[in-house]
């Protein structure tokens, strides 16, 4: 028996308005969301930790009077630590290890009034663009259960697309909010570096590549949640520019004519599927109809060198993640406790010199300067979010022989062999072929959003990425609001959900 069957016809702000008007109670919303988890999660594997008792207690208590008072919500099982609940990051070693306190973002989510029902699936340490961790199993896309919802916020995106909750938290270190938003037909914004907090336990995430925000069905939910969570916390390493006014006001403000560059050119290599090219062409036509100046142009970067530098940084950061997880579990790092690709990349990070890490960081910072100059001439850049429609489950994983070789090198503890044998390079190329557009803007720190503007002939979502100037989420929210009004997507839903 459903508690509130009209649940999915409202976004988060809409549900909160009903709570304020006493047309529905928080506990009714919580019970409805729990019913939906129990009905849909066996097919999806989106929710990996259930926090029903805590949610029911919160719903019956005094909730903060935030913009989302009483709204059911899910946390990505990475970075977002919740006191007394594990944050596994998709890792078997951390799967049953409760965290001691809430992270600052979780504290701010709660202050916004949401009620946390559980945590959502993610690839190990958020490393991969698909959500198939060995420890917790693959998450499936509601639009096609044989396909990935993307990663690393795949569990959150699948839950939102399946109408389990109106929004869920995500993090983005190389596209991990935008990619699952694209795969699942949702709105996903990666915020400006320094816009949302990383404390109290972290400073930079992946050398400043990583950010937390939400995946939503409506643009206004994203804006309102950013208003609720933005701003520095104690000891923040840097702070994003202060917005002129609340982001929620931007959503209903017309952007005026913008100078929009567009490109199908994949920054980090690979080929682009015709469905993504068709989506880009349709987006260009829509922008022109809305009165924007649209020019084919793109930042000129050394994509192969950027990809190598990005992997170099990731190798060092993943090794640090491995050592941190092992310390939490009070044991030494071991291949038995990590997936082969994670451990192998960590071995490469261990084998690297400090100067290699620093040189890669310097190269990427120089590239970011070049990209910044491009945005002196353009307000927004448009690309496909991904180079392909959502990939089949398992299609992006290393082959059996690649896995076996990585495991052998892991047992030998010989990270230098990965580099000497060239094992990581083809695996990285396979990944970047799928995600050639998103990581660049984790490097630059610019805001970027995936907007669900296209579905292919078999009904799979194809998101379009829009990138703004550093600190300029306001322009993106204005444009997103205009696109949402011109070509609504809120009522599009996968069959059976």
Catalytic residue IDs: 76, 152, 176
Q: Could you tell me the strand order of the sheet in which 187-190 lies?
A: 47-50, 115-120, 72-76, 167-172, 211-216, 187-190, 448-455, 461-468, 380-384, 259-262, 293-296
Dihedral sign, CA of 156, 159, 164, 167? positive
Dihedral sign, CA of 167, 172, 177, 183? negative
**Cβ proximity of 486 and 494 under 8 Å:** no
DSSP H or E stretch at residue 49? strand 47-50
Q: Give 41's contacts (C-beta < 8 A, 6+ positions apart).
A: 47, 164
**Distance between start and end Cα atoms, the chain:** 16
Residue the block writes with tokens 């917790």: 136
DSSP classification of residue 457: T
- Find residue 86's DSSP bridge partners: 98
Token pair listed for 135: 């420890």
d(C-alpha 336, C-alpha 159), whole Å: 30
d(C-alpha 492, C-alpha 483), whole Å: 15
Identify which of 36, 185, 138, 99 has the alpha carbon closest to the alpha carbon of residue 497: 36
Name the region of 237 (left: φ>0; alpha: ψ -120 to 50; beta: rest).
alpha
R_g over Cα of the chain: 21
- Find residue 276's DSSP bridge partners: none
d(C-alpha 177, C-alpha 154), whole Å: 8
């Amino acid at each position: 028996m459903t508690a509130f069957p009209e649940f999915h016809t409202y976004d988060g702000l809409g549900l909160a308005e009903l709570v304020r008007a006493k047309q529905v109670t928080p506990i009714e919303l919580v019970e409805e969301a729990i019913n939906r988890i129990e009905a849909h999660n066996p097919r999806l594997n989106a929710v990996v930790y259930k926090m029903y008792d805590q949610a029911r207690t919160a719903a019956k208590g005094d909730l903060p009077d935030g913009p989302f008072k009483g709204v059911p919500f899910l946390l990505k099982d990475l970075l977002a630590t919740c006191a007394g609940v594990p944050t596994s990051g998709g890792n078997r070693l951390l799967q049953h290890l409760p965290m001691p306190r809430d992270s600052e973002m979780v504290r701010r989510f709660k202050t916004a009034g949401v009620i946390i029902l559980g945590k959502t699936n993610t690839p190990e340490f958020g490393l991969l663009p698909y959500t198939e961790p060995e420890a917790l199993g693959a998450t499936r896309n509601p639009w096609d259960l044989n396909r990935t919802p993307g990663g690393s916020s795949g569990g959150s995106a699948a839950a939102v697309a399946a109408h389990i909750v109106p929004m869920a938290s995500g993090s983005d270190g190389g596209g991990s909010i935008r990619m699952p938003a694209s795969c699942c037909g949702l709105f996903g914004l990666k915020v400006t570096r320094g816009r949302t907090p990383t404390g109290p336990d972290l400073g930079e995430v992946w050398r400043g590549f990583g950010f937390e925000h939400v995946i939503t069905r409506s643009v206004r939910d994203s804006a309102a949640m950013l208003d609720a969570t933005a701003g520095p916390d104690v000891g923040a390493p840097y702070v994003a520019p202060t917005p002129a006014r609340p982001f929620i006001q931007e959503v209903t403000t017309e952007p005026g004519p913008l100078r929009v560059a567009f490109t199908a050119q994949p920054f980090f290599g690979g080929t682009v599927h015709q469905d993504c090219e068709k989506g880009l062409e349709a987006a260009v036509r829509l922008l022109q109809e809305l009165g924007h100046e649209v020019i084919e142009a793109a930042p000129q970067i050394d994509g192969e060198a950027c990809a190598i530098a990005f992997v170099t940084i990731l190798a060092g950061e993943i090794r640090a993640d491995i050592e941190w997880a092992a310390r939490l579990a009070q044991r030494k790092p071991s291949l038995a406790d990590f997936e082969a690709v994670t451990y192998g990349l960590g071995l490469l990070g261990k084998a690297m010199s400090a100067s290699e890490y620093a040189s890669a960081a310097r190269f990427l910072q120089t590239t970011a300067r070049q990209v910044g100059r491009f945005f002196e001439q353009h307000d927004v850049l448009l690309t496909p979010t991904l180079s392909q429609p959502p990939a089949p489950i398992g299609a992006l994983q290393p082959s059996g022989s690649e896995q076996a070789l990585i495991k052998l090198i892991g047992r030998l503890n010989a990270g230098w062999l990965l580099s000497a044998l060239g094992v990581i390079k083809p695996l990285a190329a396979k990944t970047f072929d799928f995600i050639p557009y998103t990581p660049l803007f984790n490097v630059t720190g610019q805001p970027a959003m995936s907007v669900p503007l296209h579905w292919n002939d078999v009904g799979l979502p194809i998101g379009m990425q829009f990138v703004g100037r550093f600190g300029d989420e306001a322009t993106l929210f204005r444009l997103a609001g205009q696109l949402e009004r011109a070509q609504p997507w809120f009522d599009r839903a996968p069959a059976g959900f």
